[in-house]
Amino acid sequence: MKGLIAKKVGMTQVFDANGNLTPVTVIQVEPNTVVATKSTETNGYNAVVLGVEDVKESRVNKAYKGQFPENIAPKRHLKEFRDFEKEVAIGDQVGLELFEKTSFLDVTATSKGKGFQGVMKRWGFHGGRASHGSKFHREAGGTGNCTTPGHCLKNVKMPGHMGFERVTVQNLKIVKIDPELKVIMVRGAVPGVKNATLIIKSAVKK
């Protein structure tokens, strides 16, 4: 497993040698600092903890600060990656070079929040007729049974909070890696708003 903490810049488009247009998402990858390592002998599994974006020590409490060695400043974002392929030590920095020989990525982030939505937008219900007098346009319709069991069953599709969920998009093809700009361009869209924090990993389904 190879993974890094990154940031979503936005979407654009690129052209290949044949003139074909490809929509891409630009992902900025600043060097990730190895904050801690875990081994089978000590913790029961192998893992690496990466961190990005320095934070002033006055902005963190002692419990959070205690996770970092003395020579490493507290980081705003931390993520543990199990079974990390590359051999690293505490204090090392890992960047785009990790994905030089990788073709596909899995990207995890928190999706855009859309607030409270009805069943048509949330679940794709067709709704009723738009004609005058039908009195059934965007409602959910019946949601329960009669006397038996006398209540609504679980998992019925109803209006409610939409979005702002942990989402993973798999098998996004890497179109271009630019070491100077520290960005990766992947084909298609990734979840989250602009400047959202992403977790990028080598694809599981190769």
- Mind listing the pLDDT tens digit for each residue in 53-69? 999 989 999 999 999 99
| CA proximity to 12, closest of 198, 185, 176, 172 | 185
Q: Which of 76, 81, 72, 73 is closest to 50 using CA atoms?
A: 81
Quick check: bond before 23 cis, omega within 30? no
Q: Residue 150: its pLDDT value, please?
A: 87
SS3 (DSSP) at 126: coil
Rounded to the nearest 5 degrees, what angle is found at the Cα of 193, between the Cα atoms of 191 and 16?
Answer: 65
Predicted TM-score (pTM) of the model is 0.87
pLDDT < 70 regions, the chain:
none
pLDDT at position 80 is: 95
Query: How confident is the model at residue 1, as a pLDDT?
Result: 85
Q: Can you give the pLDDT at residue 145?
A: 85
Q: Which residues contact 38 (CB under 8 A, 6 or more apart)?
A: 45, 46, 47, 48, 49, 80
pLDDT score recorded for residue 35: 94
Model pLDDT, residue 192: 95
